[in-house]
Chains A and B, each alone.
Chain A
Amino acid sequence: DAGVIQSPRHEVTEMGQEVTLRCKPISGHDYLFWYRQTMMRGLELLIYFNNNVPIDDSGMPEDRFSAKMPNASFSTLKIQPSEPRDSAVYFCASIYSPAGNTIYFGEGSWLTVV
């Protein structure tokens, strides 16, 4: 398997623009997580899905952030409108829970909002 695939790897956008980050989890995995990593706050859980259903979005910072998982092989994290403080690395990760709890991370989407 190719692992968790994220796109884009790098994005630079202007404040106020819409940003869409994409994730393809490992095939067959039933949990999908979106994390954000910054120097100041470390790794924070934004939202996670189980079998495509959002379970906990309490980590989503504000209404400008939204996430969807329309099917088992695709998820998006959208920021609209983007702000400079959203600059961070956004990671997607997935788990196949019947096989234990080893979590697999994508390589991240590096977002810079100027």
Chain B
Amino acid sequence: KQEVTQIPAALSVPEGENLVLNCSFTDSAIYNLQWFRQDPGKGLTSLLLIQSSQREQTSGRLNASLDKSSGRSTLYIAASQPGDSATYLCAVSGSARQLTFGSGTQLTVLP
């Protein structure tokens, strides 16, 4: 059974810092990996999707990497802003499209 772990569970940084969120998964036979953002009281918004054949994806200040063989992914956020404060979730997909989620990293960016 696939298990997804995210470290750290919570992170607080001053504005402007670059930061890295970590995700690991136990079964490397994945279809893709996605990073999501969740704001309090809201649903999840997909940030980046990395297909199993890819090694990274970039969108603006966000960069996500995937090392399928070691079962790891990182989400890099450059020049963090208070508006980046949210919970970030990592999820992996099997061939049947269903997602297995990590427990998330709660990020606070202090002005």
Q: How far is the CA of A31 from the CA of B57 in the complex (A)?
A: 24
Which of B13-21, B61-69, B75-83, B100-108 is the interface stretch? B100-108
Q: Give the B interface residue count (CB, 8 A).
A: 22
Which one of A66-74, A80-88, A98-106 is at the B interface? A98-106
Contact with A along B89-110 (1 / 0, CB 8 A): 1010100111111111000000
Evaluate contact between B98 and A105: CB separation under 8 angstroms: no
Q: Is the CB of B101 within 8 A of A43?
A: yes
Task: Assess the A31–B97 pair: CB atoms within 8 A.
Answer: yes
In the assembled complex, which residues on chain A have CB atoms less than 8 Å from the CB atom of B100?
A: 45
Q: Knowing A56-B96, A91-B44 are in contact, say whether A101-B101 is a contact too (CB < 8 A).
A: no
Distance A108 CA – B91 CA, assembled complex (angstroms): 18
A51 interface residue per 8 A CB criterion: no
Is there contact, CB below 8 Å, between A103 and B46? yes
A12 at the interface (CB under 8 A from B): no
A4: chain B residues within 8 A (beta carbon): 43
Within 37-52 of B, Cβ neighbours of A (below 8 Å) are at: 41-46, 49
Per-residue interface assignment for chain A, residues 92 to 113, with 1 indicating a CB less than 8 Å from any chain B CB and 0 otherwise: 0101010011111111100000
- Asked whether B43 lies within 8 Å of A101 as measured between CB atoms, the reply is no
Question: How far is A105 from B103 in the complex, measured between Cα atoms in Å?
Answer: 17
B32: chain A residues at CB < 8 Å are 101
Chain B interfacial positions (CB closer than 8 Å to A) = 31-32, 34, 41-46, 49, 89, 91, 93, 96-104
Of the A-B pairs whose beta carbons lie under 8 Å apart in the complex, a sample of 17, sorted by A's number, is A4-B43, A31-B97, A33-B98, A43-B101, A48-B97, A56-B98, A91-B43, A93-B44, A97-B97, A101-B49, A101-B93, A103-B34, A103-B99, A107-B42, A107-B43, A108-B42, A108-B43
